[in-house]
């Protein structure tokens, strides 16, 4: 299976379990790896025969900016399901970063990574 990756999609969302997170919001970063067969698109040099990663990026940002959820696990699942709706996408790996998570000790990042497929 071929891979199309989008890295570092940034959007502000209001996800989290604490009131401050819901009120103030924070930046979330999303990395995607879409699994699909790119041979038909390459053979015909035709965008319609592959995934339009610009549209996927816009959809992901809309999900992050959309309805708040408590957990980034839930956010990752919503993103994965949206990606799998695209024709040809057989598998997706979603990594949601929450670099400003409310943790009381020094840290660089918090991530949740999930892999989902049509199977």
Catalytic-role residue among 10, 20, 85, 98: 98
Structure tokens at 22: 């819901």
Instruction: Establish whether 85 is a catalytic residue.
Output: no
Does residue 8 sit in helix, strand or coil? strand
What residues contact residue 75 under an 8 Å CB cut-off, 6+ apart? Answer: 13, 15, 28, 63, 64, 69, 96
Q: Which residues are marked as active site?
A: 98
């Amino acid at each position: 299976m071929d891979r199309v990756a989008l890295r570092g999609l940034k959007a502000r969302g209001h996800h989290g379990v604490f009131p401050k997170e819901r009120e103030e919001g924070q930046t979330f970063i999303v990395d995607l790896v879409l699994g699909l067969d790119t041979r038909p698109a390459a053979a015909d040099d035709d965008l319609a025969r592959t995934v339009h990663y610009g549209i996927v990026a816009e959809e992901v940002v809309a999900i992050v900016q959309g309805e708040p959820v408590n957990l980034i696990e839930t956010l990752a699942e919503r993103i994965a399901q949206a990606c799998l709706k695209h024709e040809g996408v057989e598998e997706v790996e979603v990594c949601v970063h929450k670099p400003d998570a409310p943790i009381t000790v020094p840290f660089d990042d918090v991530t949740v990574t999930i892999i989902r497929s049509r199977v």
